[in-house]
Amino acid sequence: MWQQLRTFWGDTGLVRSIYTQECLETVEAWTGDLSKPHRDNRKKRQGIRVFRDGFVEHVLSKAHPATPAIWVVPLVGFGLYRGITSGPGGWAGTLGLFAVGVFLWTLLEYVLHRFLFHLVPTSPAGKLRAFMTHGYHHEFPDDKMRLVAPPLMSWTFGVVVGLLYFLILGKSLWLQVFVGTVGGYLAYDWIHYYTHHFHPRNRLGSWLKRYHLKHHFQAGDSRFGISSPFWDLIFRTYRRS
């Protein structure tokens, strides 16, 4: 495996210097099947240490579930205020554009989850990338600190999406749609956390939890929606268990 990784990293020594031995052994033993986590991995509720460097491990690669709200809530508030006070359409237009942004997030959520996170690896290097992208979450779904995207990842993605909105929608509309998208992202993060770590006592919460956990343990190639099954129904990946 290490020899083949040279084509991706250039030097297997770099791989060993970045990742812990436990992580590399886990990747090597990983089957790539996202609907069947290894029995021993399921017992490690706190996950495993991934990076050798302490700063990368504890600061850059982990995030408390409340972390996204620290930057999303002020940003959404600012975007709504700017839209209502100086955007086209006042408060009604702003709320409409915000709703469009939330809707676009649900599509992004589905597309990223299905076509990026569940991309089937075809090489050892691809296997490592797949594990780091989403395989870790399926093997250690109870790790609370690696459930939401750390700020460095979410900010980078947010900047890319924001620039695309600005280029497509223009300066008078992009912010209202963008804060709808990041608001949808926050809802997705918290719904995802809820489905893994809460015990719902209402029908909607129970349904969302069952829907997502069936994706984890029964149907890894379907049920890609987390905050909503809408796009699963549209693209026929709902699939009853």
Residue 221 forms part of a structural domain: yes
Q: How far out from the chain centre does Cα 17 lie? A: 26
Residue 240 forms part of a structural domain: no
Residue 198 forms part of a structural domain: yes
What pLDDT score was predicted for residue 14? 76
Residue ranges of the chain whose pLDDT lies below 70: 1-13, 241
Residue 76 forms part of a structural domain: yes
Residue 239 forms part of a structural domain: no
What predicted TM-score, i.e. pTM, was given to this entire model? 0.89
Domain count of the fold of the chain:
1
Rg (CA), the chain: 19
Residue 72 forms part of a structural domain: yes
Assigned token pair, 139: 């093997």
What pLDDT score was predicted for residue 241? 59
Residue 149 forms part of a structural domain: yes
Give the separation between CA 114 and CA 229, rounded to whole angstroms.
Answer: 13
Angle subtended by helix axes 174-197 and 90-111, to nearest 10: 50
Residue 6 forms part of a structural domain: yes
- Domain hosting 116: range is 2-234
> Do the beta carbons of residue 212 and residue 192 sit within 8 Å?
yes
What pLDDT score was predicted for residue 48? 95
Which single residue is written with the structure tokens 């460095």? 152
Nearest CA-CA partner of 115 in 128, 100, 125, 130: 130
